[in-house]
Structure 1
Amino acid sequence: MVRLTKIYTRTGDAGKTRLGDMSETVKHDARVDAYGDVDETNSSLGLARAALDGSDPLDAPLARIQNDLFDLGADLCVPESDTPPDYEPLRVTESQVDWLEGEIDQLNARLDPLNSFILPGGRDAAARLHLSRTICRRAERKVSALIAAGARINPAVLKYLNRLSDLLFVMARTANDEGRADVLWVPGKDR
């Protein structure tokens, strides 16, 4: 259980922060940048949920995703190591990725196939979900760059972010009256 008794530590005053394994790094470290984008994705999902009616069927899965994103951030902030910490680090699991896939399949089955790309917009909740999707894609790119640079990252992290961005696309369409209020791209419309 996490217990926060003091909000400020002053560690950041010199541009430093601690990772979950208590190692010190700079605030602009690529790992910190990646889980910062995960945090931003989570915050944007809070805005999307605020645009939904609490009884909207998208609210409960979004609440679960917000919790999962904290798990994912915790996973990223504790680097995998040959010398693990004295506690079992929280790691994202394949079952969390599988759950996202199930949600995608369930929601997408109700949508008409696309004949064009969709412009991010439509109803308020849909536009916010599209924004969350693009932030999630940025987080995914940052994690991918970490892996390419040789960082040891739980493979389920990248899978989760990839599936989440797909689910957010399908959720945005669902929030747009199951795709009927989607704003379609018309190539070359204003030439």
Structure 2
Amino acid sequence: MSIITGRGDDGETDLLFGRRIAKTSLRMEVLGAVDELNSALGLARAAGAMPEVEEIIARVQELLIGLMGQFACLPGDEDRYAKAGFAAVGEGDLEWIVARAKDFEARGIVFKDWARPGADHSLARAGLDFARSVARRGERAVLVLHESGEEVPQHLRLFFNRLSDLLWILARAA
């Protein structure tokens, strides 16, 4: 099957379970931010982040795939999503992110000044800072979706905030 289907030519796109949605919808803004975040993390990973950071990036990318699935599921289809056995970000994943950030803070990495991505000529650090800024955009998109009346569970609303903090710390550690 070709990637070029023409199904999106009318301004709509497919979600899970045969559901369709406008490409300009708030939900698609969230999905786009998650997709961009995954790509930005891929750049940081490919730029040669230290092995420990690369392992964290790999785990976060796995979480983002599950997160995309969760947001590609319209309200009312959550049980169907869970029964299908698809990956999902849970509260334990949020705790994992916080624990990683606290681990690096315990090593002495703390906020001292604003980040200046690229100033030290490290592609890995700049990529992590770029990913952090995309995570912040994802956070805003999730909050807008939630405020529009489509309830987003609290742990998913907090996910992007905590992840952007972790990415800031990782950029300093890289």
TM-score bucket (shorter structure): 0.7 to 0.9
| Distance of 2:4 and 2:34 partners within structure 1 | 21
| Alignment RMSD (CA, Å) | 2.1
| Distance of 1:92 and 1:32 partners within structure 2 | 18
| Distance of 1:9 and 1:35 partners within structure 2 | 20
Larger radius of gyration: 1
Deviation (angstroms), 1:171: 0.2
| Distance of 2:81 and 2:163 partners within structure 1 | 31
Spell out the pairing of 1:32-181 with structure 2 (5 A cutoff). 32-52=28-48, 56-81=51-76, 84-85=79-80, 88=83, 90=86, 91-121=88-118, 122=120, 123-175=122-174
| Distance of 2:17 and 2:169 partners within structure 1 | 36
| Distance of 1:148 and 1:113 partners within structure 2 | 32
Identity %: 33
| Distance of 2:148 and 2:80 partners within structure 1 | 23
* CA distances 1:83-131 after superposition (whole Å, capped 9, x unpaired): 8437626432001101101110111211344333232232221111000
| Distance of 1:131 and 1:161 partners within structure 2 | 14
Bigger proportion of residues as helix? 2
Normalized against structure 2, the TM-score is what? Answer: 0.88
User: Which ranges of 4 or more aligned residues in structure 1 deviate by more than 4 Å?
Assistant: none
- Which AA in structure 2 matches 1:119? R
| Distance of 2:7 and 2:164 partners within structure 1 | 33
| Distance of 1:97 and 1:169 partners within structure 2 | 16
1:129·1:169 contact (CA, 8 Å) conserved in 2? yes
| Distance of 1:10 and 1:45 partners within structure 2 | 29
The aligned length equals 170
| Distance of 2:115 and 2:131 partners within structure 1 | 15
Sort the Cα spacing of 1:161 and 1:87 in 2 relative to 1 into closer, same or farther, 3 A: closer
- Which AA in structure 2 matches 1:139? G
Sort the Cα spacing of 1:29 and 1:50 in 2 relative to 1 into closer, same or farther, 3 A: same
Q: Which runs of 5+ in 1 are unaligned?
A: 176-191
Which residue of structure 2 lines up, in the alignment, with residue 28 of structure 1?
Answer: 24
* CA distances 1:18-46 after superposition (whole Å, capped 9, x unpaired): 22242211111110111111000000100
